[in-house]
Amino acid sequence: RTLRIGLLPGDGIGREVIPAGRKVLEALPKSLGLDFSFVHLDAGFDEFKKNGVALPEKTVETLKKECDGALFGAVSSPSTPTKGYSSPIVGLRKRLDLYANVRPVKSVVPTAAFPDPIDLVIVRENTEDLYVKEEKTYDGPDGKVAEAIKRISERASSRIATMAGEIATRRQRVRDTTGGDAAKKALVTITHKSNVLSQTDGLFRTTARAALEQARFKDAGVKIEEQIVDSMVYKLFRQPSAYDVIVAPNLYGDILSDGAAALVGSLGLVPSANVGDGFAMGEPCHGSAPDIEGQNIANPIATLRSVALMLEFLGEEAAAAKIYQAVDANLAEGKLLSPDMGGKAKTTEVTEDILRRL
């Protein structure tokens, strides 16, 4: 099988970690029967500054017509309000209907602050909520007033909760077959703020619950719980090992996943996949980090894990497992770590070490 992968490095350290992602795909054992071809695609703030658009139409079209998957690096946000600029990653998620943003947070070597093993996944709705970006500004009696629409639909809430149920089911199957953490049970925690937003978050809550109450999830032993979003953040930090799969509307999912990254010590470890029907785009959770750009010190692990996650959603679980194991082995040994992890290794050195372990 040959997979065609779009490469969208974007800005800043995106240009240093996406090449690492490409390398790991090229280094996969031939015995897996996978081949890759790549196409480089433009997107980002630099692209905007050059050509006036952050997400060129050609990029979207090429992904739609030619590609099986993609790797997205990171984009810089303008430091002052900039007319006409619109985040390309938000645009891509919508244009390609990548309705799920899947963000696994896993500790290989627990940190001093969080000694318990952490192994959870945040499943974030990826197309609506405040990210519909329907805003307007008008003059009020005491100055300007701006409004944005938060939109929640039954359809999007149902499919994201179904995805969460499927992920919980698959994780339980993996634990059952590999003898993983026996204390861990399949659990989906629905996060919302329906005590204030009774209609929007209320719809998310009841729809997600209905989707998760399907017989197939019940049969697989998937339990359902709810947390109000503020309380969720608190509990995430107090008892991170208690959670398995967390499903949330777009914005809460965004905030929760950055928060959860702190649990494992670095944003540089946390991957994500933007998943639609038959397409997956890997994306490290970190940003473009202009402060460390060009120094070859960015942690490539978030990207390498994002590559694995992309492969998982393209049905290549064996190839994904190879990459996860190689990354885990690098972390468990702890000799070649990037500066965010307290080490001194360069981006390329960490990458080489992981490639060796494939």
Minimum separation from the CB atom of position 196 to ligand IPM (A): 5
H or E segment to which residue 6 belongs: strand 2-10
CB nearer to a second copy: give 57 or 142. 142
- Angstrom distance (rounded) from CA 261 to CA 309: 16
Region class of 6: left (phi > 0), else alpha (psi between -120 and 50), else beta: beta
Q: Does 230 bind a second copy (CB under 8 A)?
A: yes
**Residue 356 has which token pair?**
């060796």
User: What distances in angstroms separate CA 29 from CA 35, 101, 320, 322, one per listed residue?
Assistant: 10, 28, 12, 9
Using Cβ positions, the residue closest to ligand IPM within the complex turns out to be 87
Closest CA relative to residue 212, chosen from 131, 123, 128 = 123
Question: Mask: binding to a second copy, 32-71, rule CB under 8 A, as x and -?
Answer: ----------------------------------------
Site string for a second copy, 146-175 (x = CB under 8 A): xxxxxxxxxx--x-----------------
Which of 1, 40, 58, 133 forms a contact with a second copy (CB under 8 A)?
133
- 254 near a second copy, judged by CB under 8 A: yes
Contact 282, 295 (CB under 8 A): no
- Smallest gap from residue 201 Cβ to a second copy (A): 8
Closest to 222 measured CA to CA, from 163, 310, 157: 163
Whole-angstrom distance, CA of residue 117 vs CA of residue 127: 31
Site size with a second copy, rule: CB under 8 A: 62
Does residue number 254 form part of the binding site for ligand IPM (CB under 6 A)? yes
Give the separation between CA 160 and CA 124, rounded to whole angstroms.
7
Minimum CB distance to a second copy, residue 211 (Å): 12
Determine, following the binding rule CB under 6 A, whether residue 125 of this chain makes contact with ligand IPM. Answer: no
Q: How far is the CB of 147 from a second copy (least distance, A)?
A: 5
Nearer to a second copy, 62 or 126 (CB): 126
Binding a second copy (rule: CB under 8 A), the pick from 165, 268, 287, 300 is: 287
List the one residue from 37, 51, 86, 195 that touches ligand IPM (CB under 6 A): 195
Are 256 and 285 a contacting pair, CB within 8 Å?
A: no
| 89 binding ligand IPM? (CB under 6 A) | yes
Kindly tell me which of 169 and 257 has the beta carbon lying closer to ligand IPM. Answer: 257
The residue within the footprint of a second copy, chosen from 142, 219, 277, 291 (CB under 8 A), is 142
Stretch that binds ligand IPM, among 84-92, 212-220, 261-269, 326-334 (CB under 6 A): 84-92
Q: Are 29 and 358 in contact (CB under 8 A)?
A: yes
Sign of CA dihedral 111, 113, 119, 123: negative
Q: Which does 140 bind (CB under 5 to 8 A by kind): ligand IPM, a second copy, none?
A: a second copy
CA–CA gap between residue 231 and residue 312 (Å, rounded) = 31
95 binds a second copy (CB under 8 A): no
Specify the residue, 50 or 234, whose C-beta has the smaller distance to a second copy: 234
Beta bridge partners of 122: 103, 246
Contacts of 131 (CB under 8 A, 6+ apart): 90, 93, 94, 250, 251
Nearest approach, Cβ of 193 to ligand IPM (angstroms)? 7
The CA-atom distances, in angstroms, between 174 and each of 162, 177, 219, 234, 240 are 18, 5, 16, 29, 20
- Contact residues toward ligand IPM (CB under 6 A) are 87, 89-90, 195-196, 230, 254
- Contact residues toward a second copy (CB under 8 A) are 77, 81, 87, 90, 112-114, 130-131, 133, 135-137, 140, 142-155, 158, 193-200, 202-203, 205-206, 228-231, 233-234, 236-238, 251-252, 254-255, 257-259, 261-263, 267, 287
